[in-house]
Amino acid sequence: MSDLALVCGGSGVLGSTLVEAFVARGDRVVVADRAADADDGEVVMHRAVDLTSPDAVEALWDGLDERPRWVVNAVGGFRPGRVAESEPESLGSMLDLNVGTAWWSCRAAARRLEAGAAIVNVGARNALTGGVGSAAYTVAKAGVVRLTQLLAEDLAEQRVRVNAVLPSTIDTPANRASLSPDAIAKAVQPAELAAVVAFLCSDAASAVTGAIVPVYGWA
């Protein structure tokens, strides 16, 4: 029987590319996102859920017919701004979207996943370097890195792996509209990032846990 992957944030540009990567290798996928599209038979199943809500995330997991083997947390959002200019709503939004969604998903997964399963969180290059002008976003993504490292230690005895990928700029329609052609030429393609995630969610990466993997492209 094919493995089941849960892709949180699976309706966005990166998320939909992740879904395609899992399906292409024969996995079935549950797409968890605010938007609920029609199910594609028994291969791609959509669940409408507010991933910033711990209760909603728990309900999502309770409603699954089987435990996924692969969990990817790809929800995120970006707002520019320096610390001195920040507003409470902006900080709260960045924390909820970036580290909060990963936290609640990881909490639910940690209670249910079995040996041989894997979690991959999507962080950002800003978590390790740079980030001037995007303070709240950078701090939130740094939280994703530490969450990943701590959970990898927590779940080591259960033989559940936890890793993170850190892309730089991703080539998306929104970024193409706001960035220069030179910047986009150096950006990471969604399919390139999805390939790294798919590797981490495979038996080929059975010895990899606690890794923070840079996927910077040529930036």
Catalytic residues: 137
Give the phi and the psi of residue 163 in degrees, each rounded to 5: -135, 170
For residue 126, what are the contacts with CB-CB under 8 A and spacing of at least 6?
134, 137, 138, 141, 142
- Decide the pairing of beta strands 212-215 and 161-167: parallel
